[in-house]
Structure 1
Amino acid sequence: MTRIIAGKARGARLDVPSSGTRPTSDRVRESLFGALESAEAIAGARVLDLYAGSGALGLEALSRGALSVDLVERGRPAAAIVRRNAATTSKAGGLAMARVHESAVHPFLLRAAGPYDLVFSDPPYDIEDAAMNADLLALAPLLSPDALVIVERAKRSTAPDFDGAGLSLFREKNYGDTTLWWAEPADAQPAAESQSR
């Protein structure tokens, strides 16, 4: 069972697609969101959750004070579950409704307007490196100047090509078989020095 961990919708239960997705574990979500709150990266943020699965990452951000959330999920059954979870979270926390886009990620990025301040990308473990890197390249123009991009992949996977997308990697953390990469626009003030977050 997956639940919203903290914020206005804390405890809200989220359904998880029965197949085709890989929900981020509670332990990883807790660690990730603790770090994001320490960086003051959630409150008021415009959030984009790519390969949303159940929508848990984007909806957690909404519960914790994000201004808006776009959830992108290609699979029709999964997108239906994301919509249901978005409604549950909105009702539980008295929050604005997250926008759910039933679309493949790359076409969505090519038509999206942005800007986004916080982006989660949790592609399927079997996605080809070239496709993942093409997503990052399409994402880069949609980012605000001090945006954060978090990519989740298997630890054994190839690291994303942030440099090729004009992004700069500044943190990498392993959680068992999972790795989270943190990046920002290459011309941004270094995250460790930024006082605006």
Structure 2
Amino acid sequence: MTRIIAGDARGVLLTVPKNGTRPTSDRVREALFSTLESMNVIDGVEVLDLYAGTGALGFEALSRGAVSAHFVEKAPKVASLIQRHARAVEDAVKPRQVRCTVESRSAVQAVAGLAPGLGLVFIDPPYDVPGAEVAALLAALADKLEPWAIVVLERSSRDPLPELPAAFRLERTKLYGETALHYLELASEEDAAS
């Protein structure tokens, strides 16, 4: 079990499947959300949680003020678990209305069908997903983002940052033991020119 750390749904427990998921630790999630709150990118945003696992990242954002979260998890059993978690989180944050949707398909397929307007995206693929696949996913995601959006990419601290598509720039990287969090944003025209 893991739990939501802060906000309206603080303390809501999330069941962790026995196999196939690697939930972000409480310590890393706490640091991640402290950074996002200092960047002022949670309140009122639409969130996308790719390779969602338990959904902990998207639910933490909803608990702290996001208005919607779209969860993408390829494994159908895990996706149905996220659906159960969504009901518990929606109940916990009432009367604030939030919207949760869950898709059981690949991240690339899901991104292709999304409408623009995302303000915060979590990408936490299994560590063995190749960097080229992550870069292709980022390229597909670029036109779905608000100009000020933040994308948080979680990778092993042993792996280099995948080559970023021209649409993105690295804002910062934070290391926590085996975990690296890369904060990405859309590149400005000045970034593209240099």
TM over 0.5: yes
1:70 aligns to what SS in structure 2?
strand
State the distance in 2 between where 1:188 and 1:65 align.
31
- What's the CA shift string for 1:44-70, capped at 9, x where partnerless? 011111000000000000010001111
Map 1:115-194 to 2 at 5 A: 115-162=117-164, 164-187=165-188
State the distance in 2 between where 1:165 and 1:140 align.
10
Cα offset, 1:96, TM superposition:
2.2
Cα offset, 1:114, TM superposition:
2.4
2:155 aligns to what SS in structure 1?
strand
Stretch moving more, 153-162 or 53-62: 153-162
1:107 aligns to what SS in structure 2?
helix
What amino acid maps onto 1:50 in structure 2?
L
TM-score, scaled to structure 1: 0.92
2:8 aligns to what SS in structure 1?
coil
Q: Structure 2, unaligned stretches of length 5 or more?
A: none
Q: CA RMSD in A?
A: 1.5
- What's the CA shift string for 1:61-90, capped at 9, x where partnerless? 001000111111000111011111111111
**Counterpart residue number, 1:38:** 38
What amino acid maps onto 1:161 in structure 2?
E
Q: 2:29 aligned with 1:21, yes or no?
A: no
After TM superposition, the runs of 4+ consecutive aligned structure 1 residues lying more than 4 A away are: none
Seq. identity, %: 48
Against the structure 1 CA distance between its residues 140 and 69, is the aligned structure 2 distance closer, same or farther, given a 3 Å change threshold?
same
2:41 aligns to what SS in structure 1?
coil
State the distance in 2 between where 1:176 and 1:3 align.
21
**Counterpart residue number, 1:194:** none
2:77 aligns to what SS in structure 1?
helix
Number of residues of Structure 1 aligned to a counterpart in Structure 2: 189
Q: Structure 1, unaligned stretches of length 5 or more?
A: 191-197
- What's the CA shift string for 1:126-165, capped at 9, x where partnerless? 1012111111111111011010000001011131222x24
- What's the CA shift string for 1:13-65, capped at 9, x where partnerless? 11112111110000000001011111111000111110000000000000100
Q: Would the aligned equivalents of 2:67 and 2:99 in 1 still touch at CA under 8 Å?
A: no
